Structure 1
């Protein structure tokens, strides 16, 4: 299975804030810019006009624009960014330094109150990817036709930096990072990545 995943456009007013599942707005022009890029990519590579999005508006908004251009978009809550719980949406400077130190000491398993750990994000991403691989293999083996994912067609996704990094590490068969320095840099906004499973 091949997965092409684009990172959503940069949201408004995020500098210095802890952003996970906080649903923040994005300039409509930036949403259209990414929709244009995806539409050109799909046309160039003759791919099905089906794309997966998270329920967060920085991903969903692009899917909705593409739907106006003949795409089908599918919403999956499993594609959402990591949930930072009580930290989510707050300025980093307002988060207790001892909690951040605890996170760095147990990078894989620490979760802020009401949030999820990196390990849980990996499990969520791996489960969704596993389901797509099984569905793709079943449909191609049994001759089913669908709008995507059958006959080895790539899967298209608009995702979030943490989820994308987790998926890239899963594709590379790497384990959940135990220390913060093992976590890769965030992928750039509007860029796409190919992952092979």
Structure 2
């Protein structure tokens, strides 16, 4: 018997995000057609894998919109704040161009333990993503940072990344899967 997997999808591309630092405090909408398309893909994956019709999403619109489509189709939709993106503090929602180079350099110099914009440290996000338990939901719609943190902790649990080691964000609507722990 194969091991059960947690399937995590990154939300669809949010509207109005271009050039902005988008984290936990920036609640941007997504086009409803994009949300519906991703919900269809999740439903198809769940059918193939014979997964329960339960989805957990971040409370932010860009994730919850997908969950609402699935709920319309008879799924249970759970909203879970532990699936939220990194909190960039005062940077959140601001144009990246307005964040000083010195502030970004300070974060990169102590990447795992510095709280960008006074928000949340990457170390906190790593622990939050690693500690998340499915509770019957094998499908989640979350954020790129959460997905990368979960992947990091699955692959390199005792290590903390440097800025140069941190991978690029997954594409909008893409899926990652890991063994449930």
Give yes or no for TM over 0.5: yes
Give the total of aligned pairs.
Answer: 175
CA contact (8 A) 2:14 2:31 kept: yes
Query: 1:111 — aligned with what?
Result: 115
1:176 is the counterpart of 2:164: no
Q: What's the CA shift string for 1:61-88, capped at 9, x where partnerless?
A: 1001100000001111010000001000
> Cα RMSD (Å) of the superposition?
1.4
Query: 1:18 — aligned with what?
Result: 21
1:157 is the counterpart of 2:161: no
Query: 1:2 — aligned with what?
Result: 5
Name the CA distance, whole Å, in 2 between partners of 1:121 and 1:166: 7
**SS of the residue 1:181 aligns to:** coil
- Unpaired runs of 5+ residues, structure 2, are none
Query: 1:73 — aligned with what?
Result: 77
Name the CA distance, whole Å, in 1 between partners of 2:96 and 2:9: 26
The structure having more radius of gyration, on CA atoms, is 1
Query: 1:36 — aligned with what?
Result: 40
Q: By how many angstroms is 1:113 displaced?
A: 4.0
1:191 is the counterpart of 2:174: yes
Name the CA distance, whole Å, in 2 between partners of 1:113 and 1:188: 25
**SS of the residue 2:51 aligns to:** coil
Higher mean C-alpha displacement, 105-114 vs 117-126: 105-114
**SS of the residue 2:116 aligns to:** coil
